[in-house]
Amino acid sequence: MSPHTAPPVAILGTGSCVPDRVMSNAEVGAPAGVDDAWIVRKTGIRERRWAAPDQATSDLATGAARRALEAAGITADQLSAVVVGTSTPDHQQPATAAFVHQNLGGSRTAVSVFDVNSVCAGFMSALEAAHALVARTGGYALAIGADTYSRILNPADRRSVILFGDGAGAVVIGPADDAGGIRTSAFHIHSGLTGLIRVPAGGSRRPYDPAAHDAGLQYFTMDGRAVREFFMSTVPGLTKQFLHDSEVLPSDIAHVVPHQANGLMLDEMAPTLDLPRATVHRTVHECGNTGAASVPLTLDRAARSGALRRGDLVLLLGMGGGMSISFTLVEW
């Protein structure tokens, strides 16, 4: 647990951004040898968005950030931190967050700018890092989750290519104007399972070279069955423990914003969380699994729809490679 004793910090604005290009199940399924009916039956996904050739992760992150700044009523010059959660950065270096800061056009240079990588749980780590900075020093921060998984998918791998879409979501956090705000967070890692989700080549362990390319090691790989079994067996118990440690009753939770891994998995998991009053928010059917973007993108859509009301308790649930599970409790 990571309780913060400084003045409360709240989510002051949300934003999201997805590419214009809509990819149907027929388009992504054909090279993998599956059709629309098969994809809907296995995942609940009907379409997703893929980035244009000239779009990078930072472009989507910037779009989401601008909308979040507008919703919060502040400018880029007022930011003291920009933290981006992503596992598909623009480049190995510098940080994608640096490009976002550049794109936003802020003139202030005394800003903490960096990336974090918890794979699909990356936004949760970005939010916690930004929260800690704001709680200690004050000011405002951007926490962003953004990914362009279309760049690293094997078009012939039906286990992965059908699942992922590109997108970004962002929140502005700053001093709370009432008793609400970000209450607490918890993070868990099962590092013995790092092999379940990975991109084998492109790092210091296995540099990218012609041999790696010929072997297809530049592509995202996932043991989907094992990943699903892990999250289904682990998340419900950890959710109950988190609420107990947070001194919150399951019936107090009004909204759950989970990682949008797979629509059918969410259907199966939701009842096991034992949150009788909670609305489980979803974007997976129209956006697919957007990686680190899925929690903030879904949160933004819920906020803009008017579903989240002042005083509601919102549970953010991250699930990602590593294997990582994370929770953040927010009073809206």
Q: Please identify every residue annotated as catalytic.
A: 120, 259, 289
Cis geometry, peptide bond prior to residue 236 (ω within 30 degrees of 0): no
Residue with tokens 């492109």: 202
Q: Which residues 6+ apart lie within 8 Å of 186 measured at CB?
A: 1, 2, 238, 242, 245, 326, 327
Identify whether 94 is preceded by a cis peptide bond (ω within 30 of 0): yes
At position 18, the amino acid (one-letter code) is V
Closest CA to 291 of 83, 98, 113, 117: 117
- Residues 142 and 36: their CA atoms lie apart, in Å, by 37
Residue matched to tokens 């951007």: 142
Q: What's the rounded Cα separation, in Å, for the pair 271 and 157? A: 30
Residues 6+ apart with CB under 8 A from 229: none
Tokens linked to 82: 């920009």
Of the candidates 31, 40, 258, the one whose C-alpha atom is nearest the C-alpha of residue 157 is 31
Phi/psi for 254 (5° steps) reads -95, -30
